[in-house]
Amino acid sequence: MGSMVAINAGKPATQADLIDVNEVIGTYYDAIPDPADPAQRVSFGTSGHRGSSLKTSFNEAHIVAITQAIAEYRKKAGVTGPLYIGRDTHALSGPAMKTAIEVLVANEVKVRIDSRDDFVPTPVISHAILTHNRAADGSQRFEGEGLADGIVVTPSHNPPTDGGFKYDPVTGGPAPAEATEAIARRANELLGDFRKVRRVSYDEAIKSPFVESFDYRDHYVSDLGNVIDFNLIRSSGVRLGIDPLGGASVNYWPLVNEKYGLNIGVVRPEVDPTWRFMTLDHDGKIRMDPSSQHAMKGLVDELNAGAWNKYDLVGGTDPDADRHGIVCPDWGVMNPNHYLAVCIAYLFGGSRPGWPEDAGVGKTLVSSSLIDRVAASIDAPLVEVPVGFKWFVDPLFTGKVAFGGEESSGMSFLRRDGRVWTTDKDGIIPDLLAAEITAKTGKNPAQLHQEQVTRFGESWYSRIDTPTTLEQKQKFAGLSPNSVQVTTLAGEDITSKLTSAPGNDAPIGGLKVSTKNNWFAARPSGTENIYKIYAESFVSPEALDQVLSEATEVVDNALGE
């Protein structure tokens, strides 16, 4: 029962775990995908197209086809401003970005690239798009001349073999399904004939008037004071360590330090596309997830061996810096749900007087119910959406929510004046917020979590992956509350059965069943033949096991109809 933890989880990566960078990049150019094979077609999940050159699912042909499809899509949508593009530290990100620029310039799209040829975090692209698209009165424009959009070349925290390619429209965050479906459909039409797509050579493209350099780092870092209270951090002397996990934020922290006079130390500043310095994640793969205790074990061991004398707390970011992780002394890596709840209590508890009074707390419906309890205690409206940060784009953009957070350690929140900051996950601001919270309260986030447990109860949370067939996966979309035949869950009466999210009525692609103190949610994976069950109990670890076991039965029965 449950997702097995690999025997080598948390152990240092060995030579056998490392990619051959030359092979991964060489195969990007050499392997030609077969459009008849579904595994080799363009497929946009919640965060763009992802794949590996070695599996012929992320190759030059894919990027040529997707970029052409994006150029056509933005033209049709009337987007005439610059396209902001950036990449992370994965081996495939550099080659894919070059390919994209060759196609964009051939389409006469103005492209803004980093003036230092540096890596660019995901939230920095979102921030650049939104600041570009701001009207003179400070409101956000999403119609009219000269609007900008963007592309982020990253597979996020995925293993070193992988590549990713994501389109951000004028609202600055992950594109909605209607955009990604249109782009993927057109890209797959072009895939078989990708050599017919017009391109210019990279050398020619980079010298053309269509490519402009842009100082992403300074633009973003100079604005951070509008979202984080640096005076508070500086005057308290809080010492923050940061582990960029070999990712795109590595050169941002020294500038934050310098600009705001802080006490930030970068714990492991090396960048290496094999990520040889990582400890292996729960499944024995190298995965740069700052919220995983297995992936962060090397850092935690280093801190426990004496590095804690330099820091009061440590934050992490993943390769494209859209995820965060918080590590506290005597605690280790915080559960992302627990940190979200601490942030919400702090941000909505008087520290942001400039925020709109009626703005809500955004959460995905598989995040902890601790968040529901905290939101109720501060009278903040709760806006519960399906899985995927794209559901927070519009609510953050319009100020309907002041904070959006998800269980997999992604969050963003409004500027201190109540205007939008980013509409994509920002892993940099939660790490800085941890220092602000510690400065203001005199307690680190783990200590504040303990206080919340005393007040709201302790909970146990888990996610398991269950093998399924493609046919069963497709049945999830057709589930209704009536598909749940039982009336109790782990001995408590069922109080709600959902197949659409309460916050926006969007289908959740699965099922959520709740009682007073327990809940589970089930949804199919977008990339593998598994379905995921998330569950939580405020009763006991044994009750959580019971929830998980009954959930599997409920889902199997519902799918067997």
What residues are labeled active site? Answer: 156
Q: Are 267 and 299 in contact (CB under 8 A)?
A: yes
- Report d(CA 242, CA 264) in Å as an integer: 7
User: Of the candidates 331, 336, 353, 326, which has an alpha carbon nearest to the alpha carbon of residue 434?
Assistant: 326
Q: Which two three-digit tokens encode residue 260?
A: 């705001």
Residue 344 CB neighbour total at 10 angstroms? 27
Count of H helices and E strands in the chain?
17, 23
SS3 140: strand
DSSP character at residue 295: T
- Report d(CA 13, CA 286) in Å as an integer: 7
Give me the helices (H) in 287-331, please.
297-304
- Report d(CA 328, CA 309) in Å as an integer: 12
Instruction: Say which residues have a Cβ less than 8 Å from residue 181's Cβ, sequence separation at least 6.
Output: 44
Q: Which two three-digit tokens encode residue 239?
A: 């010492």
What is the chain's length? 561
Rg, C-alpha atoms of the chain: 23
Q: What are phi and psi of 81, to 5 degrees?
A: -80, -170
Q: Which two three-digit tokens encode residue 148?
A: 């900008």
SS3 60: helix
Q: What are phi and psi of 167, to 5 degrees?
A: -105, 130
SS3 461: strand
The DSSP element (H or E) to which 231 belongs, if any, is helix 230-236
User: Of the candidates 105, 109, 108, 112, which has an alpha carbon nearest to the alpha carbon of residue 84?
Assistant: 112
Instruction: Say which residues have a Cβ less than 8 Å from residue 203's Cβ, sequence separation at least 6.
Output: none
What separation in angstroms does the CA of 5 have from each of 284, 325, 434? 8, 20, 29
Residue 155 CB neighbour total at 10 angstroms? 27
The CA-based dihedral angle spanning residues 233, 238, 243, 247, taken in that order and rounded to the nearest 10 degrees: 10
- Report d(CA 89, CA 248) in Å as an integer: 6
SS3 304: helix
Q: Are 443 and 352 in contact (CB under 8 A)?
A: no
- Report d(CA 552, CA 544) in Å as an integer: 12
240-243: strand order across its sheet: 264-266, 240-243, 313-317, 324-328, 332-333
- Report d(CA 361, CA 380) in Å as an integer: 6
